[in-house]
Amino acid sequence: MQSLDTNSPRYVPGYDGVAKLLHWLVVLLIAAQFVIGWTMPDIHKGTVPDGLIAWHLGVGAALVAVVVLRIVWRVTHRPAPAPVSPFFSAVSHITHGLLYLALVIVPVLGWANASSRGWTVKLFGVLPYPALSPVGSSVGHAMGDIHGILAWVLLVLIGLHVAGALFHRLVLKDGVLQRMLP
Ligand code: HEM
Ligand code: HEM
């Protein structure tokens, strides 16, 4: 979809190129994590992390790095506020805040679970991340279950967020969706 002409009355200054790139990279990596997380084999004591499980850990390591970059960029580069009503502004702030929270908590719980299984999470298969939980830890094990449950919560938040974006585009017909498009 084309950006609006900057002279159009519906034009709203949006996110910078880096913020857009990081937003859509996170969308891509999360989509991959859901597909891999739901199709990889069940994990038991002694499971070797190869095949799809290795992919889930590898894509997860990249996601953690991109989320950190995204948060650092967001804190240092504030976007112009969207010109929406106070009600929509409050709803979007709450949803975005919860999305950021889930973007941190869900991956960290998966990482802690990997650590408790004695698996090292590595960026691009080379740069090892520190262990977040001791090997064999029952807390780390429980974090795996919570990881799976909170992934559903994240999915619901994404659903609300996408519904909001489409509501802006199709019902309010304002320029909010364009703010995050190339
Ligand atoms: C937002 C990103 C992520 C999503 C959406 C996601 C999604 C999932 C899903 C759907 C499952 C299967 C849960 C089940 O069937 O019970 C799963 C399991 C798992 N994920 Fe993730 N994941 C994410 C990030 C990560 C990261 C960053 C890591 C580690 C670096 C990780 C490690 C694991 C592990 C170890 C399991 C197995 C847990 C168990 O069975 O005890 N995940 N993930
Ligand atoms: C994995 C899925 C997604 C996640 C985790 C996510 C997360 C976020 C977050 C945290 C923000 C707030 C940005 C900030 O102000 O710092 C945001 C903004 C935005 N997202 Fe997403 N998003 C996802 C998918 C989508 C999709 C599929 C669309 C389009 C249909 C979309 C459209 C937008 C738009 C238009 C904004 C800017 C809203 C505004 O200007 O206030 N997002 N997204």
Q: For residue 84, what are its two tokens?
A: 């929406």
Compute the distance from residue 48 Cα to the ligand 2 centre, in Å: 35
Task: Please report the pLDDT score of residue 109 as a whole number.
Answer: 98
Structural domain harbouring 139? 17-180
Quick check: 94 pLDDT over 90? yes
Task: Please report the pLDDT score of residue 2 as a whole number.
Answer: 46
Compute the distance from residue 120 Cα to the ligand 2 centre, in Å: 31
Q: Comparing C-alpha atoms, which of 145, 68, 149 is closest to residue 113?
A: 145
Q: Tell me the pLDDT tens digit for each residue of 77-87.
A: 999 888 889 99
Does 100 sit in the ligand 1 pocket, CB within 6 Å? no
In a domain, 93, yes or no: yes
Task: Please report the pLDDT score of residue 163 as a whole number.
Answer: 97
State the average pLDDT over residues 63-74: 98
In a domain, 55, yes or no: yes
CATH number at residue 74: 1.20.950
Distance, in Å, from the CA atom of 92 to the CA atom of 113, rounded to the nearest integer, reads 31
Residues in the chain: 182
Q: Tell me the pLDDT tens digit for each residue of 98-151.
A: 999 999 999 999 999 999 999 999 999 999 999 999 999 999 999 999 999 999
Q: Comparing C-alpha atoms, which of 145, 15, 143, 155 is closest to residue 99?
A: 155
Quick check: 9 pLDDT over 90? no
Q: How many structural domains comprise the chain?
A: 1
Pick from 44, 50, 147, 161 the residue to mutate for probing ligand 1's pocket: most ligand atoms within 8 Å of its CB: 147
Task: Please report the pLDDT score of residue 82 as a whole number.
Answer: 87
**Which residues is 123 bridged to in the sheet?**
127
In a domain, 12, yes or no: no
Nearest Cα residue to atom 37 of ligand 2: 180
